[in-house]
Chains A and B, each alone.
Chain A
């Protein structure tokens, strides 16, 4: 049985909901440590820390662990519940009331990007409809500690099943609680649980479908725009759970780790990026990865196919033209004329590639590292693409950090024993730029552009792993 990986589950859900990486510079499937995730969220301007009393759907809850990999992390859903990984898949059996009693205290982070949705309110929503007095199953028995409402419990392995088995004496229908609100939660949760118990969380009913008279149901309280965002999160969760559902044996849902392993066997992505255990195939498979994003970028930037029947002179001219195209009109083999790859000459924005010039033109940061092409035919470090010093300053990219990240990543890659590939170069160089402070999109576009320039210049492949003897 795989151990839960809370950080990975949160990372996957966040990326699917927002198309962003939860940790800049780290592929979604590589977020395996709550300690690192916590530190990243703490310093990431996309997230704001909020008090537990203001918990709202979509907030990320995390144990502020330090120097240890395995803490708790989850995402708040409405009714005070939290979705998180379990040993057998994603579940929603935790609750804010449990979390609030946790020592050390958990911490909430809110993705502030949600505020771009007009009409979204940051009012406290997580506990709307949440009844802290709702009865729970006694500890020490299967499903112990879980809510009695919803007609669902854990089978002991984290899977929620319809109805309660062996615990009926502990179950008290919400109607007996004397709480109209609890009754409405009960009704809603009934609809959220599949009769066969194979799906753990279902989308909440649409507003029009809600028979609940409680004015603070999630959909109403969030407003349509906020609801839309949150529904996106839930729908991704829903999709993930469907993936976890086994085809032939619904009693044993696949864990993320199992899915991971199976995808690993199929995928042969960037080997250097394969982490141990969880996450490797997730990264190579279903998630939004640099590889996927770059596949499009590379295709767009790839040199045009060479017309057949070209003689040597025509081929050379075609190559020069391809170089010029790649640099945005600059002749890559006759550089140093002070041009760059942008007609407008304006600074890069979030999704634009940074200005690239031949290294001899403005110095700066070689993209990729020149050592990776030592001895390669057609590679000239002086005419190779680089982000000029002035552009690094304009973008506030920390060149020292980029260099340190390159060294760290290339050395890690060298330990895999595999030869350096274009894909690995793309991944490493992108991560290094992001670490230095460039946006993910700009970094990916910049590296893709630089690789296209090198390919157009006739560089066939990397020859050496920088900062290594290989």
Chain B
């Protein structure tokens, strides 16, 4: 690609989002991992039902990937802006206060507010 800015964007996207998500998901399978996602996956694996396992893992993998995207924005690795339907633009790293990943993942965050697909609240015990 001839556009150097797009080239840099693509590298950041792959490194900070795709690769980070794969690395994070790989870590969930490690025997030492003790977070709720890891526990959920290991339990599903032990039950030996491939389709059920896939159904458990799909939303978690999607969430992990989007969380990496949000974090890349929070950390200003991806300095993205968003133009709303009213035509106004917002600088996501600045206006997001570095909290986009938390808003995405949190108990009463965006997933619980807007998602129409399955969502497990891993933080219900913290409220």
Q: Which residues of A contact B (CB under 8 A)?
A: 23-26, 33, 36, 40, 43, 45, 363, 370-371, 393, 395-401, 403-409, 411-412, 431, 435-437, 466-467
Asked whether A400 lies within 8 Å of B101 as measured between CB atoms, the reply is yes
Of all chain A residues, the one with the shortest Cβ separation from B67 is A400
B125 within 8 A of A: yes
**Interfacial chain A residues near B105, Cβ < 8 Å:** 400-401, 403-404, 407
B122 at the interface (CB under 8 A from A): yes
> How far, in Å, is B39 (CB) from chain A's closest CB?
4
Residue of B nearest to A39 (CB): B125
Contacts of A406 in B (CB 8 A): 102, 106
Q: Given A36, A398, A408, which contacts B106 in the complex, CB threshold below 8 Å?
A: A408
How far in angstroms is the closest Cβ of chain A from B76? 10
Partner of B24, one of A36, A370, A398: A398
Measured between beta carbons, the chain B residues less than 8 angstroms from A403 are 67, 71, 101-102, 105-106
Partner of B125, one of A23, A393, A397, A398: A23
B75 to chain A, nearest CB (A): 6
Name the contact of B127 in the complex, choosing from A45, A393, A408, A466 (C-beta under 8 A): A408
CB contacts under 8 Å to A, within B102-127, are 102-109, 122-127
Complexed CA–CA distance, A24 and B67 (Å): 24
Measured CB to CB, the nearest residue on chain A to B106 is A407
Cross-chain contact B33 with A411 (CB below 8 angstroms): no
Cα–Cα distance between A33 and B127 once the two chains are bound (Å): 12
Contact of B123 among A393, A396, A399, A405 (CB under 8 A): A405
Residue-wise, chain B 32-46 has the 8 Å CB interface mask toward A (1 for contact) of 111111111001000
Known: A371-B99, A393-B23, A393-B27. A404 touches B35 (CB 8 A): no
Chain B residue numbers with a CB within 8 Å of A397 are 35
A40 and B97 CA atoms in complex are apart in Å by: 33
A residues near B126, Cβ cutoff 8 Å: 25-26, 405, 408-409, 412, 431, 435
B58 to chain A, nearest CB (A): 16
Query: Which residues between 4 and 32 of chain B lie within 8 Å of chain A, taking CB atoms?
Result: 23-24, 27-28, 30, 32
With A40-B125, A399-B71, A403-B101 as contacts: A467 and B36 at CB distance below 8 Å:
no
Evaluate contact between A370 and B102: CB separation under 8 angstroms: no
Q: Cβ of B125: which chain A residues have Cβ within 8 Å of it?
A: 23, 25-26, 33, 36, 40
**Among candidates A399, A401, A411, residue contacting B36 with C-beta atoms closer than 8 Å:** A401
- A residues near B104, Cβ cutoff 8 Å: 404
Task: Compute how far the CA of A390 lies from the CA of B103 in the bound complex, rounded to whole angstroms.
Answer: 24
Rounded to whole Å, the gap between the CB of B113 and the closest CB of chain A is 12
Query: Contacts A393-B23, A403-B67, A467-B102 known; A398 to B35 CB distance under 8 Å?
Result: yes
In the complex formed, the residue of B with least CB distance to A365 is B71
Contacts A/B (CB < 8 Å), 11 sampled? A25-B125, A36-B125, A43-B39, A403-B67, A403-B101, A403-B105, A403-B106, A404-B107, A406-B106, A408-B127, A436-B35
Contacts of A371 in B (CB 8 A): 97-99
Interface residue ranges of B61-116 to A (CB < 8 Å): 63-64, 67-68, 71, 75, 97-99, 101-109
**What 4 A-B pairs come out closest when comparing CB atoms?**
A404-B105, A407-B106, A407-B102, A437-B35
